Amino acid sequence: MRTAFLATLLELARTDERIVFLTGDLGFSVIEPFQRELPKQFVNAGVAEQNMTSIAAGMALSGKIAFTYSIANFPTLRCLEQIRNDVCYHEANVKIVAVGGGFAYGALGASHHATEELGVMRMMPGLVVVAPADPVEARAATRALVAHPGPCYIRLGKAGEPNVHSGEIDFELGKAIRLRDGSDLTLISTGSMLKAGMSVAAQLADRGIQARVLSMHTLKPLDGAAILAAARETGAILTLEQHSVIGGLGSAVAEVLAEAPGARLPFRRIGIPSAFSPRVGSQQYLETQNGLDEASILRTTEALLRGAIFPGGMGRA
């Protein structure tokens, strides 16, 4: 995803000198093409994310489209006051780019585990929050963020994520993408969990269970219509995210369901407990430790379905 984002941004910046890229002294080995080709649109702010964010806000208020870039926790939690007061309060055209969402930097420990920032960013007034699922969505999201005239946050994977989409997509901020249809349940994922969601849906289909799969690439504004359609048309909803179960996708979907008249159906959030991980290791290892691997998701889904669609369960009336 990171490579797809950077290549797309460079392509757009070649023809739009308003686009500027600011890094917090991070990304070298992948950002050099932008730096070499467009040095007047590139700023290394150093390990000073607060300053980087305020510089970006000033540039945006001067007519630029400013992208700030660092490992996920650093351009978000480290400089939250600047995001709130300099960017969001002034509706500045700043795009905050976080690389390595979730456990992508798992071996570096809790300081580099980005497991709370989606919830924090969702609370910032006027901030669009995007978490693409694969390089295809990352390219489309980059174009959409450049076109959007206001503050945005985008959470990327680190590198090497496979394409989940087989071709071009109809990408629109605030509108989920339906990859599979089904009536037994709906799997709603955000970010890199889409691949696991699609694999689980395929395994369920082998057992005669048809799952709808939605890629909820935009957490704010949220596609409430897609959620309510799933509540009406399928037997259960399960959310998938590499983020705390508090504040992220699961919380956002629960808010929609809680306020919708008659939207009563089995619902389950799969995410990370509200706790620091006591372990470090690869992203795959930490996914397994937190029940985010395919086998664990499948077990949770089957348990939900036993209550949702079997006789005597909690199914819809």
Query: What is the structure's pLDDT at 308?
Result: 60
Query: What is the structure's pLDDT at 309?
Result: 52
Q: Is residue 235 part of a domain?
A: yes
Residue with tokens 């976080």: 98
14: domain CATH number is: 3.40.50.970
Residues 44 and 82: beta-carbon distance below 8 Å: no
Query: What is the structure's pLDDT at 315?
Result: 36
Q: Which letter does DSSP use for residue 175 in this model?
A: B
Q: Do 192 and 146 share a structural domain?
A: no
Q: Is residue 234 part of a domain?
A: yes
227: domain CATH number is: 3.40.50.920
Q: Is residue 170 part of a domain?
A: no
Query: What is the structure's pLDDT at 29?
Result: 86
Q: Is residue 280 part of a domain?
A: yes
Q: What is the pTM of this model?
A: 0.94
Q: Do 297 and 207 share a structural domain?
A: yes
Query: What is the structure's pLDDT at 78?
Result: 96
Number of domains in the chain: 2
Q: Is residue 172 part of a domain?
A: no
Q: Do 11 and 149 share a structural domain?
A: yes
Q: Which two tokens stand for residue 136?
A: 């295809």
Q: Do 267 and 149 share a structural domain?
A: no
Instruction: Give me the residues of the chain with pLDDT under 70, please.
Output: 308-317
Domain containing 82 equals 2-156
Q: Which residues pair with 21 in a beta bridge?
A: 42, 67
Residues 222 and 175: beta-carbon distance below 8 Å: no
